[in-house]
Structure 1
Amino acid sequence: MKAQFEKIAASSLSSFNAFIYEDKNFDAPWHFHPEYELTYIVKGEGIRYVGNNVQKFEAGDFVLIGSNLPHCWKDSNSVTDVKSIVFQWSDNILGDNWLKNNEFKNIKHLLNKANKGILFNPSFSKNIESRLKTIINQNPLDKLLNFIKLLEYLSSVNDFNTLTSDGFTPSLNLKANKRIDIVYDYVQANYDKKIKLNDVSSLVSMGDEAFCRFFKKSLSKSFFTFVNEYRINLACKLLIESNKQVSQIAYECGYESLPFFYRQFQKFMDCSPLVFKKMYHKL
């Protein structure tokens, strides 16, 4: 599966694309496109990648992706099918320089924030699905007007988190993105085993030091920071959804040392695994 620039075909009936995606899995690779993208997960779970951010996702996940921000969703093999609501639009949806008009200053601010990726919090996004579906099913004029109203509404929402870290600049080099996609797939397939730097660097035909520099430049984090982030997100999912012991979860997520697992969990989640589980079940 190769990372690539995605050419989004314009709708023949509308100024932007609005559709429901349904399939056995999310098959888009690590990719980017100049269009903005708003994605709501109706059904499915797995790992979401946006820029240098990696997090688990599930139904209700609602994300706004900025122009040319690399992203993909990798669904879990345990899910039989997936479904999402997707909006894609260019920055000239209402013509050239429309965002310079005072009426759209809030939307402009929202789209600027989208350059880092925006994840709307579940407390907000759980009530948005019906509104998104309504827009999709409207005639072209009402669809456009109500979509712009939706963006204005989202610009007033403070219940969100940005996804990429400060200083992250996406690499839009096709060769580089292909390498990142290969690394993502390898980690997804081997997170429960010991991952050696040499094994990964050889996959993309690079030496160890060159690969480390490449990965850090591409994602603004080291390769093993990325691996631990991936593993801890999976550990969180198991803590929430199973009654397994913490030690068993640690080993299943690829940690050979329990103290090291605890240190990494504290680093990424700012609490211990047991405290995390208790906090979640109080929600």
Structure 2
Amino acid sequence: MKISYENIYFDQSRSLKIESYTDKSQCDIVSWHLHPEYELVFIKSGSGSLQIDSHFENYHDGLLVFLGPNIPHMPFGNSQFKNNIEVVIQFPESFIHEKLSHFPEFKTVLKFIEHSRNGVIFSSEVHKRLSSQFLKFGKQNNTERLINFMNILYQLSVCKDQSVILKTQLSLDIHKHSLERIAKVYQYINDHYNVEIRSESLAKRLGLTPNSFCRMFKTVTNRNFIDFLNEFRIKKAQEYFQHHDISIAEVMYQCGFNDPSYFSKQFKKYTGTSPSKFTKQLLIKQNRIN
């Protein structure tokens, strides 16, 4: 199977990424993929298929599943019912080591996360019991969402109605060493997106030739490096516009671009609109709220 590497972007104002999907706003990931983040997926109702590495099964009346890092899987959602809701929660390894691990009270939760790295499916009883908590996310602010998520994690950590998905080592088509290298690349981009980043420099950091680096990156992510870097920077630009009152030129430089024409072209490529129109739309939304 051909597996793509999903680049999950985290807003600086949040510790988690929480997305809700319906039949009208479905997830745009449609094929086999993996990512270094943990993932908790809740599907309110309907039937569908669960394809995780070599594991396959059908589900009915909704789904609640937890996945560890770098497990290849297909999307789980279904559009069988118009009022169906899918909630996807993703968090990085750093959320565990830099936040949860500092609190001894989370010992049970940490143990659950470690023991669930190969994936866990929860029973229909657990799904039904926690359903109302997942449906709250759409109406909560960031603080309430974090508290709600921790409550859900704790309840999952103490429940017994769960089954491990993969009992053996993952049969990844992508070599683990390549995944580790991609994780390092992603971290470097996250830390240095505001300055010049050259593929030659990253190749040297990983002990590869430039050609080997580009080939490895394309194989794992199914994208070329420049596209990946530009999209990351544009998402950062969107974040700056949403959370800071600064000019388009300032955002451009803060996100590693130095050519206004190229910045505008890339912004439109990944957002469908120009920086000026994007900021105007934000202003209109803010005025409506106020």
TM-score scaled by length of structure 1: 0.54
CA positional deviation for 1:138: 1.6
d(CA) in 2 for partners of 1:124 and 1:48?
18
Q: Distance in 1 between matches of 2:15 and 2:111?
A: 21
- Partners of 2:158 and 2:49 in 1: how far apart? 28
Question: Which of residues 167, 187, 203 in structure 2 aligns to 1:165?
Answer: 167
1:89 counterpart (88, 91, 103)? 91
SS at match of 2:115: helix
Cα separation, 1, equivalents of 2:30 and 2:120: 20
What does residue 30 of structure 2 align with? 28
Which residue of structure 2 aligns with residue 248 of structure 1? none
User: Could you tell me which residue of structure 1 aligns to residue 59 of structure 2?
Assistant: 57
Tell me if structure 1 keeps the 8 A contact 2:65–2:121: yes
- What residue is the counterpart of 2:19 in the other structure? 19
Offset of 1:23 from its aligned partner?
A: 3.6
Map 1:245-260 → 2, pairs under 5 A? none
Q: What is the DSSP-based 3-state SS (H/G/I as helix, E as strand, rest coil) of the residue aligned with 1:71? A: coil
SS at match of 1:158: coil
User: Is the Cα–Cα contact under 8 Å of residues 45 and 81 in structure 2 kept in the other structure?
Assistant: no
Indicate how the Cα distance of structure 1 residues 122 and 43 shifts in structure 2: closer, same or farther if over 3 A, else same. closer
Deviates more, 1:22-31 or 1:36-45: 22-31
Amino acid at match of 1:127: R
Give me the whole-angstrom Cα distance separating, in 2, the residues matched to 1:173 and 1:35. 17
Q: Displacement of 1:136 after TM fit?
A: 4.0
Q: What corresponds to 1:119 in structure 2?
A: 121
Does the 8 Å CA contact 1:41/1:58 hold for their aligned counterparts?
Answer: no
Greater relative contact order structure (CA < 8 Å, 6+ sep):
1
**What is the letter of the counterpart of residue 17 of structure 2?**
N
Q: Tell me the equivalent position of 2:132.
A: 130
**Partner letter of residue 118 of structure 1?**
V
1:94 Cα deviation after fit: 6.3
Q: Distance in 1 between matches of 2:96 and 2:88?
A: 19
What is the CA–CA distance in structure 2 between the aligned matches of 1:74 and 1:22, rounded to whole Å? 13
Please list the CA deviations of residues 116-142 of structure 1 after superposition, one character each: whole Å capped at 9, or x if unmatched.
210001122112111112234222122
- Correspondent of 1:149 among 148, 151, 160: 151
* CA pair 132-79 structure 1, distance change in 2 beyond 3 A: closer
Query: Partner of 2:93: helix, strand, or coil?
Result: coil
Whether the 8 Å CA contact 2:64–2:122 is kept in 1: the answer is yes
TM-score for the superposition, normalised by structure 2: 0.53
| Conserved? CA contact 1:92–1:98, under 8 Å | no
The corresponding residue for 1:9 is: 9
Q: Distance in 2 between matches of 1:15 and 1:75?
A: 24
> Could you say which residue in structure 2 is the equivalent of 1:212?
none
Q: Residues 199-244 of structure 1, C-alpha deviation per residue, up to 9 Å, x if partnerless? A: xxxxxxxxxxxxxxxxxxxxxxxxxxxxxxxxxxxxxxxxxxxxxx
Secondary structure of the corresponding residue to residue 73 of structure 1: coil
C-alpha root-mean-square deviation of aligned residues, in Å? 3.1
Runs of at least 5 residues in structure 2 that lack an aligned partner in the other structure:
180-290
Q: 1:243 maps to what in 2? A: none
1:226-245 map, 5 Å: none
Q: CA deviation at 1:100?
A: 5.8
Contact 1:45–1:79 (CA<8 Å) still a contact in 2? yes
| Counterpart contact for 1:66–1:116, Cα < 8 Å | yes
Q: Contact (CA 8 Å) 2:126, 2:161: kept in 1 or not?
A: yes
- Are the equivalent residues in 2 in contact too, given 1:64–1:117 (CA < 8 A)? yes
Query: Contact 1:15 / 1:93 at 8 angstroms: preserved in 2?
Result: yes
- C-alpha separation between the residues in 2 aligned to 1:167 and 1:15? 29
Q: Percent identity?
A: 25
Partner Cα distance (1:134, 1:144) in 2? 12
Distance 1:152 1:90 in 2: 18
Give me the whole-angstrom Cα distance separating, in 2, the residues matched to 1:72 and 1:107. Answer: 26
Cα distance change on mapping 1:162 and 1:102 into 2, 3 Å: same
CA–CA distance in 1 between the matches of 2:18 and 2:139?
A: 9
Instruction: Write the distance in 1 (CA, Å) between the matches of 2:97 and 2:169.
Output: 31
User: 1:183: which partner in 2?
Assistant: none
Aligned residues: 175
Residues 74 and 159 (structure 1), Cα distance of their counterparts in 2 relative to 1, 3 Å cut: closer
Q: How does 1:261-272 map to 2 (within 5 A)?
A: none
Which position in structure 1 is the counterpart of 2:142?
A: 140
Q: Identify which range, 32-41 or 22-31, moves more after superposition.
A: 22-31
